[in-house]
Chain A
């Protein structure tokens, strides 16, 4: 007996908490992947990252409203189209922002931080003007609602499973793009040595723009996935930004594997502690632990050894 619970009950609670942690892990990974590319690879601080996610969420919302109003027969499958549209919208906005702002600020990282914060305020107010201040939710197709019973006490929600599968696919795609494609090779070359990369004929400006756009596009997909597990408001993005940055920094900025490992650590720690104490204290303790570890090991969990 542990407290008031029997061992089997305790085991199921652990399993449920663990699964909740896995969903949180998927969310963190989705949030952090885009930032791991933008911040980790390019070294650009994009404080508007959360707003790019929310853009994806709003695109999904528009899609769901549009599809259910005009072609209800297509409704069960709209989500896949919505995700592609979310990616495209966030990618386009990202490329635009890179062209208008970021490319002038590559040598002033602290200023990029302030400028993108300004951008995030502008985007927030735009969302509020267009969609209203209230949070909006997406109606899910039937096949995403409900939960799968694993044992008689343990159940897992289907939308959570879907988010996990999606995370897995996107992570795999990003990995292939970054580490197994010519494009990824170019990106890494530009990051490691811009001058030499230019000298061997890589169009560094174009690479920067596409990399930034891709990071934003992935944020858009993440936002699209979020609509399945929560509602979206104009300021939702701002709530994620600290978590996301901590995940990336904690993992070691230049390492994709590190980002995934740190997302796993942070999410599991938080969801396990949430069982023993209030949600806010769990969050405080998790973040404090992360900050504390970062103070002892500033380079994060995983480091890439590059001679600069």
Chain B
């Protein structure tokens, strides 16, 4: 960190550490992003493309959490798909139960339970499905279930000072376990097809184009809110501490802080945000399946954040949009080239642009913009959006 000298006594330049929530420059970026996803996309894209962008924005939730968790705190989780998936599954279970009312499922041998259970000779709703009849419970579960799991993982790992690559491997293994479990327990989870054929949310048909349009705005609004929330965490004392932990964990520990507690918090926070994204994904796409839980999607979500810039919240959102746009374009026209491009992207981002789009912007574009008088505030060198490089 650039301000590592703050431990020295004497006169402190308070304004350097006050860290305003956003500078004028920050609000400008926020406004540009808000206009882009709230005005430009809905006006220029047709319903199908807009729905796709909405889907990408749900991944951006995960990328936001990863910026905080990986970029700022140095905790690389290769299992964010777990939390995205759990959030999505919680939402899907509620919607599925609503779609499987006894009237809708009268032709089944056991009416009132989801169709895939009936196909698997299950005659009674499993106990863990029962609470998902309640919308209030579902809303809580979407965030609570992934966060509790994240807490258990984080508590077990961080209090024993396991971090770095070991943490990455363990989270990846958990993602693999969860995928095998979901696919194996077809009768309880819908198996490899996932939970499909979701129709209504509290009686409101989510499959019409008007509903999709509204859901897009819900998603975009929640994403902007999450961005502000992440930013709030980042500028808080806790946000500074996790950066210190990333750069010199032992020094923070010797200063008397409980390092594990901060790491657990950040990991749980990222899990909660990812889960909100997952729930919105289910609403917009109309199904949830184990393909969004496993190792491959989890690592792809890391690359979204890496392309945007692992230290920048804005970068994460733009990176997610860009990678996904490229993915759908490539796989429509040159499907065989997509994996080459994706693999090349991983290598290039790591070897050549470790700070991603945000790094490129700050190095090449911003210096020119900063010359325009009055565009950024006069003290634009301070409280910038991008924090200093990792020390490693």
Binding site for B on A (CB under 8 A): 43, 45, 101, 104-105, 107-115, 117-125, 128-129, 238, 241-242, 245-246, 249, 278, 280-281, 283-284, 287-288, 290-291, 294-296, 298
Q: Is the interface of B mostly helix, strand, loop or mixed?
A: helix
Which residues of A are found within 8 Å of B340, using beta-carbon distances?
121-122, 125
Q: Is B365 in the interface zone, CB < 8 Å from A?
A: no
Q: Is the CB of A121 within 8 A of B176?
A: no
Q: How would residues 335 to 351 of chain B score, 1 for a CB under 8 Å from any chain A CB and 0 otherwise?
A: 01001101111110111
A245 to chain B, nearest CB (A): 5
B178 to chain A, nearest CB (A): 9
Q: Is the CB of B184 within 8 A of A278?
A: yes
Q: Is the CB of B344 within 8 A of A287?
A: no
Report the interface size for chain B: residues with CB under 8 A from the other chain: 45
Q: Is the CB of A298 within 8 A of B177?
A: no
Binding site for A on B (CB under 8 A): 70, 74, 76, 78, 153, 156-157, 160-162, 164-166, 168-170, 172-174, 176-177, 180-181, 183-184, 295-296, 299, 302-303, 306, 336, 339-340, 342-347, 349-351, 354, 392
Which residues of A are found within 8 Å of B392, using beta-carbon distances?
107-108
In the complex with contacts A118-B343, A119-B347, A284-B177, A294-B184 CB distance below 8 A: no
Q: Is the CB of B180 within 8 A of A280?
A: yes
In the complex with contacts A117-B299, A242-B172, A111-B354 CB distance below 8 A: yes
Q: Is the CB of B299 within 8 A of A246?
A: no
Q: Is the CB of A104 within 8 A of B351?
A: yes
Residue in B74, B181, B349 whose CB lies within 8 Å of A114: B349
**Which of A104, A119, A121 has the most B CB atoms < 10 Å from its CB?**
A121
Q: Is the CB of B177 within 8 A of A291?
A: yes
CA distance A128 to B349 in the complex (A): 24
Which residues of B are found within 8 Å of A109, using beta-carbon distances?
164-165
CA distance A105 to B164 in the complex (A): 15
In the complex with contacts A287-B173, A287-B176, A122-B166 CB distance below 8 A: no
Q: Is the CB of A118 within 8 A of B350?
A: yes
Q: Is the CB of A119 within 8 A of B343?
A: yes
Q: Is the CB of A294 within 8 A of B170?
A: yes
A7 to chain B, nearest CB (A): 31
A254 to chain B, nearest CB (A): 13
Which residues of A are found within 8 Å of B339, using beta-carbon distances?
121-122, 124-125, 128
B190 to chain A, nearest CB (A): 15
Which residues of B are found within 8 Å of A101, using beta-carbon distances?
347, 351
Residue in B161, B165, B177 whose CB lies within 8 Å of A113: B165
Q: Is the CB of B345 within 8 A of A118?
A: yes
Q: Is the CB of A45 within 8 A of B165?
A: yes
A265 to chain B, nearest CB (A): 15
B242 to chain A, nearest CB (A): 16
